[in-house]
Amino acid sequence: MSVAVVAGGAGFIGSHLCDALLGEGKHVICIDNLATGRSRNIAHLHTHQRFSFVQHDIVDGLPELPHVHEVYHLASPASPPGYTLLPVETMRVNAEGTFHLLELARHAGASFLYASTSEAYGDPLEHPQREDYRGNVSSTGPRSMYDEAKRYGEALTMAYVRAHELDGRIVRIFNTYGPRSDPHDGRLVPNLVMQALRGWPLTIYGDGTQTRSLCYVADLVEGLRATMNAPAARGQVINLGNPEEHTILEFATIIQELTGTGGDLVYSEPAVGDDPQRRRPDITRASGLLGWYPKTELHPGLRTTIDSFRDELATTDQSASPAAARSTPGI
């Protein structure tokens, strides 16, 4: 039986990836220290006979594992509040953690996928962003613990591909939304949806003309699987995201419409420095190499996401204030 390791498997995207791999008949070993991952994301899998959960920090090395065939590295804080709170941990999981997983893949002869980010492009001067664009990134700015950590992880992965002939590939993930995202992680969709569901004003950081391109999580996971399975993806960097671009104000209006709330918009100071003003992937490479493109339209995807947040809100503490919810912007 094929065995897949998913580091960061209790996270938003990681938990959906675990579901997909189990659906393909694989044995899945989920490794997560739960620093930003959530136990509830994988609670439904604990009785699955082909699922194993190991609570562990990959910075400290790896526990003893059976022979593995695929290694997915999604272990890292990914939202601005997460990596701002855990800056050194973010650097280390993308450095030492990446090294340990690469060594696992090298010795096992396994395929390896490194989940990088659109933040590797920084505040881009090229739009949309192609994989050969080298970015506009500050190595010392307020987001550098994440941006530069991911760029280092990419470089280390490619060093193993070249020096050890590792079957490795890199994906740069653009903004992704859907069920199981942390409703309090400060990013665009969770922030706006949770405020709308609570009947609070919706916070717009800056003037709202910044743009984002949102990809539904099921589509993103299909892209991860396609990247891992495609021989032509070896040694490649591939953008995964939805090229449909909207302003923050447009997203806020759509979320108001879908939640049935007419709350006011509240304008606040722009998000933490180095926040990209425009973000949109060029997915020509993903379409050509993988035959992949996102299929989920924005309104249906947001409806499903809103329903999941509504269910979670019904079972969690509702005592937080609007001010607290607006305290950690991340778009």
CB 9 within 8 A of CB 31: yes
3-state secondary structure of 85: helix
As given in the structure block, the two tokens for residue 195 are 């405020």
The count of C-alpha atoms lying within 13 angstroms of the C-alpha of 14, restricted to the half-sphere facing its C-beta, is 35
DSSP state of 208: S
Pairing of strands 265-268, 202-205: parallel
146 tagged catalytic: yes
Extended strands (E) in the chain? 3-7, 27-32, 51-55, 70-73, 111-117, 168-173, 176-177, 202-205, 211-213, 215-216, 237-240, 245-247, 265-268
**How long a stretch of residues is the chain?**
331
| Active-site choice (83, 121, 146, 205) | 146
d(CA 263, CA 287): 39
Residue type, 175: N
d(CA 53, CA 121): 33
End-to-end CA distance of the chain: 40
Q: Is the peptide bond before 190 cis (omega within 30 degrees of 0)?
A: no
Tokens 């953690």, residue located: 97
As given in the structure block, the two tokens for residue 117 are 């980010």
Nearest in space to 216 (alpha carbons), one of 266, 180, 191, 184? 180
As given in the structure block, the two tokens for residue 17 are 């990836």
**Of all residues in the chain, what percent are helix, strand and coil, respectively (each to 5)?**
45, 20, 40
* Sign of the dihedral through C-alpha 184, 186, 190, 192: positive
Residues labelled as active-site residues? 146
